[in-house]
Amino acid sequence: MTLVAILSGAGISTDSGIPDYRGPQGLWRKDPEAEKLVTYDFYMADPEIRRRSWQMRRDSSAWNAEPNEAHRAVAALERSGTPVRVITQNVDGLHQSAGLPARKVLELHGTARKVICTRCHARSSMADALARVEDGDPDPPCTVCGGILKSATVMFGERLDPEVLAQAMAIAKASQVFIAVGTTLQVQPAASLAGIAVEHGARLIVVNAEPTPYDESAQEVVREPIGTALPALLERLAAEPGDG
Domain CATH number, residue 97: 3.40.50.1220
Are 48 and 169 in a shared domain? no
Instruction: Kindly tell me if the per-residue pLDDT of 142 is higher than 70.
Output: yes
Q: Lowest-confidence range among 160-164, 229-233, 239-243?
A: 239-243
Domain count of the fold of the chain: 2
Are 133 and 220 in a shared domain? no
Confidence of residue 244 (pLDDT cuts 50, 70, 90): very low
Mean pLDDT along residues 204-227: 96
Decide which of 153, 175, 209 is a domain's last residue: 153
Instruction: Kindly tell me if the per-residue pLDDT of 168 is higher than 90.
Output: yes
Are 165 and 225 in a shared domain? yes
Q: Lowest-confidence range among 1-5, 22-26, 185-189?
A: 22-26
User: What are the backbone angles phi and psi of residue 152, rounded to the nearest 5°?
Assistant: -80, 45
Confidence of residue 29 (pLDDT cuts 50, 70, 90): low
Catalytic positions = 109
Confidence of residue 23 (pLDDT cuts 50, 70, 90): low
Are 138 and 229 in a shared domain? no
Are 179 and 78 in a shared domain? yes
Confidence of residue 154 (pLDDT cuts 50, 70, 90): very high
Cα–Cα distance between 38 and 169 in angstroms, integer?
26
Are 86 and 142 in a shared domain? no
For residue 119, give its domain range: 19-64+110-153
Q: Within a 13 Å sphere around the CA of 231, how many CA atoms are in the beta-carbon half?
A: 10
